[in-house]
Amino acid sequence: MYLMVNFGLRDPRLNSSPTITSGDSDLIQPSAIYNAFVPFHFESKPALVAYVTCGDPDLATTRDVILAAIESGASIIELGVPFSDPLADGPVIQRASERALAHGTSLEHVLKLAAEIREHSQSVGLVVFSYLNPILRMGLAKFCHVARAAGIDGTLITDLPIEESAEYLREARRNDLATIFLAAPTSTDQRLKQIAEVSTGFIYAISRTGVTGERQQMSGDAKDLVKRIRRFSKLPVAVGFGISTPEQFAAVGKFADAAVVGSAIVHVIEQNAGREAASVAHFIGSLVARGS
């Protein structure tokens, strides 16, 4: 049996007050208690999707950083689950994951943190951003139940191919979790059609091939990819990988619904020990001001 921590928290958007406790028999059935609501908002152009590696440098700081990001204008928070063998992450996020894992940060901790964040903000979108292995260790069904009860709105599993996603899609939909998939410039039209068919919430468009990381210039592939995605889906499209400056952020708003900023935020955290939250707030404020 996989031991779950007792969160002792609930999503304020619920009519009832679920509590997550130890043991399989105590898991909540979210489908019986959750009201339907729209989890993601894209009124701003672009909306800001902010990624953080949870547990870097520690969970308390991550909580402060996320709350500061929300206050500064982030519309969606991607809660990065640290992983020992990342495939798509560049050196900045790799280092953050190593620091978080050194402190013992786990998927359970991330879900507990999500519940704490949800207590403070009912409107921000919360997405678990993870590789598949930590979720499989918990169990797909259990993960989806607990994530929804903690106030998570959607999930993005970076290394789960569509062809192997049937069980995940079933459990996510059973728990009203948005299923977010990655679309790359190298994706064929047939692949984009498949992504559109299984995606809910929004589609994450990778601006370029390669790994995450800050770039001086945005790839021209991003605009073309968004245009191609819109042929198959009316969902909002968020563009990520390499967005690190106010100019890049504003540029994305001309053709996409949202911009994902990850490595740049993690880099700000890494470079500003002891004043992480304030530094992230200032950085996000500069992005949002330029985007608006």
pLDDT of residue 291: 64
pLDDT of residue 260: 96
Q: Where in the chain are the domains?
A: 44-291
- The pLDDT tens digits of the residues spanning 40-82 come to 889 888 999 999 999 999 999 999 999 999 999 999 999 999 9
Burial class (CB in 10 A: 0-12, 13-18, 19+), 292: exposed
Terminal alpha carbon distance of the chain: 49
Taking a C-beta distance cutoff of 8 angstroms, is the pair 154, 125 a contact?
yes
Angle, vertex CA 229, rays to CA 227 and CA 235, nearest 5: 110
Say whether 89 is catalytic: yes
Bridge partner residues of 178 (DSSP): 154
Specify the amino acid at residue 105: T
Which pTM value belongs to this model?
A: 0.85
The residue annotated as part of the active site, out of 11, 89, 171, 214, is 89
Considering only residues 19 and 188, tell me which one the structure prediction assigns the higher pLDDT: 188
56 phi/psi in degrees, rounded to 5: -110, 115
pLDDT of residue 28: 31
Taking a C-beta distance cutoff of 8 angstroms, is the pair 237, 205 a contact?
yes
Say whether 78 is catalytic: yes
Which of 105-119, 129-143, 212-226 comes out lowest in average pLDDT? 212-226
Query: Reading across the β-sheet that carries 76-80, which strands appear in turn?
Result: 178-179, 154-157, 125-130, 76-80, 47-53, 258-261, 237-240, 203-206, 182-183
3-state SS record for 222-236 = HHHHHHHHCCCCCCC
Considering only residues 213 and 81, tell me which one the structure prediction assigns the higher pLDDT: 81
Distance CA 86, CA 93 (A): 9
Considering only residues 22 and 115, tell me which one the structure prediction assigns the higher pLDDT: 115
- The pLDDT tens digits of the residues spanning 148-207 come to 999 999 999 999 999 999 999 999 999 999 999 999 999 999 999 999 999 999 999 997
Confidence of residue 228 (pLDDT cuts 50, 70, 90): very high
The CATH architecture annotation of domain 44-291 reads Alpha-Beta Barrel (3.20)
- Segment 259-279 shows an average pLDDT of 97
The residue annotated as part of the active site, out of 78, 153, 214, 270, is 78
Considering only residues 184 and 16, tell me which one the structure prediction assigns the higher pLDDT: 184
Confidence of residue 219 (pLDDT cuts 50, 70, 90): low
Nearest to 49 by CA among 73, 81, 13, 83: 73
Distance CA 90, CA 211 (A): 5
When the pLDDT of each residue in the chain is averaged and rounded to a whole number, the result is 85
Bridge partner residues of 240 (DSSP): 206
pLDDT of residue 32: 31
Considering only residues 220 and 257, tell me which one the structure prediction assigns the higher pLDDT: 257
Query: What does 181-201 look like in DSSP terms, one character per residue?
Result: -EE-TT--HHHHHHHHHH--S
Distance CA 242, CA 262 (A): 8
Helices 276-291 and 59-72: angle between axes, nearest 10 degrees: 30
CA distances from 192 to 104, 210, 230 (A): 37, 18, 10
pLDDT of residue 86: 75
pLDDT of residue 292: 58
Confidence of residue 247 (pLDDT cuts 50, 70, 90): very high
User: Is it the case that residue 290 has pLDDT exceeding 90?
Assistant: no
